[in-house]
Structure 1
Amino acid sequence: MSAVASEVAPSSSHVLADHTTMRVGGPAQRFVTVATTDELVDAVRVVDEADEPLGVFSGGSNLVVADAGVEATVVRVATRGITVESQDACSGVSVRVAAGEPWDAFVAQAVDSGWIGIEALSGIPGCVGSTPVQNVGAYGQEVAQTIAQVRTWDRAAARIRTFSAAECDFSYRHSRFKGTRMPARTTGDDVSAALGGLSPRFVVLDVLFQFALGDLSAPVAYADLARGLGVDLGARVPLTDAREAVLDQRRRRGMVLDAPDHDTWSCGSFFTNPILPVERMAQLVERVHEVAGAELTPPRFGAGPGHEKTSAAWLIDKAGYGKGYGLPGRAALSTKHVLAVTNRGGATTAEIVALAREIRDGVESRFGVRLVNEPVLVGVEL
């Protein structure tokens, strides 16, 4: 990789397990950490101009990499910067945030500053640049509700492109950035193909958020959170109260990073909640009644015209995979939340993926619904 080596200095640690919350994954052929937006663009441009495989990531909280690693240059985004671009009582505040800023630290700053709209997204690991890609959401909020623009490096066009919120094509845990990958540059390029979501066409440089100003949260939109706060759905509470209540909920589910707690050695929720056409949902209800008893009914939530969403956690549990399933093995479900596949210490990617595959196939066999993984899988498949 002489073209890369001449312009980009490598970082010391290239084992990807050292940079992911699941703590699995082999080495990158070359590993580079960038601290500024210019460095990020230059690093990506150099590798692309050399026509070599490239992966890009930031916090590593949504990444599962093969034990063999990747034969590619991997760029870790560690850019920093939070800039208030405008602020007034009527229109609120516009804040531009570098892609590598840690997400939860930014949420804490927003709460302290009276910026309303992401307090329910407290405690989520990872960095700001990943949030629009996944359209991160929790406890009744989605990041799409506060994003005004996403500025990216378009690798295919080799130029900066800025997308308005409407152009991001946000939907449940999805966006145009997640759905648009960099194509393999050479026909049959297995390395580039294996990188999948780690090799996006659009590399997020920074995100412009638009917040309302005030002391009270957005209306509480999640039933468990409302109960924890002792308020009705739709109520507004002090921003700090909302944040602390969310952090409490997440800690009880093992969803706040804590190194001694192996329940947090995960990618958070491993599967997304299924969204089904209403006819398909009716079939699922019938199937549940047939195999699990008429007294059980899967949760049902509105998900747009003609569709309903159900709970992946409910399906996993009712299919026989309870909290701690897989223990005392090195890969097991969290003892606090069945949606989290966890590394109990020393697990390999192969073990993590085997457990996830067993659960996915078991749910499909029992209920006829095929769960979809939320993390980006690199060099492995379910």
Structure 2
Amino acid sequence: MLGALSMRDLTVLAPLTTLRIGGPAREIVEVRDSDELVDTVRTLDDAGQPLLLLGGGSNVVVADEGFDGTVVLVRTQGLVADVDRCSGATLTVAAGEVWDDFVAHAVEQEWVGVETLSGIPGRVGATPIQNVGAYGQDVAQTIARVRTYDRRERRVVTYAAADCGFGYRTSRFKAEPGRHVVLEVTFQLELGPLGAPVRYAELAKTLDVAVGDRAPLADVRDAVLALRAGKGMVLDPDDHDTWSAGSFFTNPVLPPDAADRLPADAPRFGQADGRVKTSAAWLIEHAGFGKGYGETAARISTKHSLALTNRGGATGYELLALAREIRDGVEARFGVRLENEPVLVGAEL
């Protein structure tokens, strides 16, 4: 292990991210099991070396200057399934497993609860950090516990779902960036051939069912993949609309008085705490930033106004300049400040 940490030539990070943007790292280390991951992180921390954990690179923007430290590629593998007719499927999945491979396997096995999260890039370990969600589901609904290495306390800690601080695209792990290294995630899924009740109107329409009805798991997965592909949200090396970090901005959740100041036709979704969620895509488009907007190789996707894309050869500087222009334009027009969803490495908006 220590030999793997010796200095090498600088390595460019761009090919390791879905945006294909990012400068050099001092060192790149790949780990294949949880013990090696913990040992690697502990060794780097002991040496005082800057550390960046990287899974699928799908939710990160790396600066053109790169990262002056060690990048640890999380490639741990393994899935342990405990399936019972009464209690359902309890699945412990290594952080380095490819997320969509896990979802495809769950659908094939008739394990219910993650089917609308099909087509999302990245690795399993990233999903609880961001509380990944789409089309009416998020991982907080099915996560039972998360096993982590706490870099501050220098010990392995397992958090029950109730202790993970899950919220809209957030968690205790995101709230304390860099502290918690996710090792494994345990999911509790129901059993059956039908997906969970469809909660998202666009998906229900595609499946030709009413909101709240169920559809076969495979049909739900196929419908979600088709919807995502139509928005450039399924990775395709030949499609520059997919050279992105997914949705660049989160949907704002506003106090009622702020929501009241939006135009009457702005989308509004009431939240359990009394706040109101609105659509970042709607705000962006109505602030004058339409699909395809941009003057450099960094542009808004031609398929989805929430995705900022690399049309080929874009720099981090260009992408972040576009993000600032959109954020500031929306704030000037509507008084709402958009928050970026991807993690920024060596950069800021």
**C-alpha separation in 1, matches of 2:216 and 2:261:** 43
User: 1:101: Cα distance to partner?
Assistant: 0.3
User: 1:8: Cα distance to partner?
Assistant: 3.8
Q: How does 1:286-297 map to 2 (within 5 A)?
A: 288=263, 297=265
CA shift digits 1:264-298 (9 cap, x unpaired): 000000000000011111122xxx3xxxxxxx511
**Alignment gaps of 5+ in structure 2:** none
1:147 aligns with 2:143: yes
CA shift digits 1:215-249 (9 cap, x unpaired): 00000010000000011000100000000000010
1:282 aligns with 2:260: yes
CA contact (8 A) 1:151 1:162 kept: yes
Q: How does 1:36-75 map to 2 (within 5 A)?
A: 36-75=33-72
**C-alpha separation in 1, matches of 2:6 and 2:147:** 25
Partner of 2:156: 160
CA contact (8 A) 1:111 1:119 kept: yes
CA contact (8 A) 1:215 1:238 kept: yes
Partner of 1:311: 279
CA contact (8 A) 1:300 1:309 kept: yes
Q: 2:71 is paired with a residue of what secondary structure?
A: strand
Partner of 1:322: 290
Letter in 1 for 2:19: M
**C-alpha separation in 1, matches of 2:4 and 2:335:** 52
Partner of 1:293: none
- Match for 2:31 among 24, 30, 34? 34
- Match for 1:373 among 340, 343, 348? 340
Corresponding residue pairs, total: 349
Partner of 1:237: 215
1:338 aligns with 2:334: no
**C-alpha separation in 1, matches of 2:67 and 2:5:** 18
User: 1:6: Cα distance to partner?
Assistant: 3.9
**C-alpha separation in 1, matches of 2:44 and 2:256:** 46
CA contact (8 A) 2:7 2:26 kept: no
1:22 aligns with 2:19: yes
User: 1:12: Cα distance to partner?
Assistant: 8.5
Q: Which has the larger displacement, 10-19 or 35-44?
A: 10-19
Aligned CA RMSD, in angstroms, stands at 1.4
Q: Which has the larger displacement, 11-20 or 74-83?
A: 11-20
Partner of 1:216: 194
Letter in 1 for 2:309: T
Q: How does 1:241-260 map to 2 (within 5 A)?
A: 241-260=219-238
**C-alpha separation in 1, matches of 2:143 and 2:2:** 36
Q: 1:33 is paired with a residue of what secondary structure?
A: strand
CA contact (8 A) 1:11 1:32 kept: no
Partner of 1:271: 249
Identity %: 60
CA shift digits 1:82-128 (9 cap, x unpaired): 111x2111110101100000000100000000110000000000000
Change (3 A) 1:43 1:10: farther
Letter in 2 for 1:299: P
Change (3 A) 1:12 1:44: same
Change (3 A) 1:45 1:7: farther
**Alignment gaps of 5+ in structure 1:** 182-199, 289-295
User: 1:5: Cα distance to partner?
Assistant: 4.9
User: 1:254: Cα distance to partner?
Assistant: 0.3
Letter in 1 for 2:291: K
Q: 1:169 is paired with a residue of what secondary structure?
A: coil
**C-alpha separation in 2, matches of 1:13 and 1:98:** 29
Letter in 2 for 1:145: Q
**C-alpha separation in 2, matches of 1:166 and 1:11:** 43
CA contact (8 A) 2:10 2:26 kept: no
User: 1:213: Cα distance to partner?
Assistant: 0.4
CA contact (8 A) 1:95 1:210 kept: yes
Q: 1:267 is paired with a residue of what secondary structure?
A: strand
CA contact (8 A) 1:10 1:32 kept: no
CA contact (8 A) 1:10 1:33 kept: no
Superposition TM-score, scaled by structure 1 size: 0.89
User: 1:55: Cα distance to partner?
Assistant: 1.2
User: 1:7: Cα distance to partner?
Assistant: 5.7
Q: 2:246 is paired with a residue of what secondary structure?
A: coil
CA contact (8 A) 1:254 1:336 kept: yes
Change (3 A) 1:371 1:115: same
CA shift digits 1:314-371 (9 cap, x unpaired): 00000110110015x2000000000000000000000000001100000001111000
- Match for 2:127 among 126, 131, 149? 131
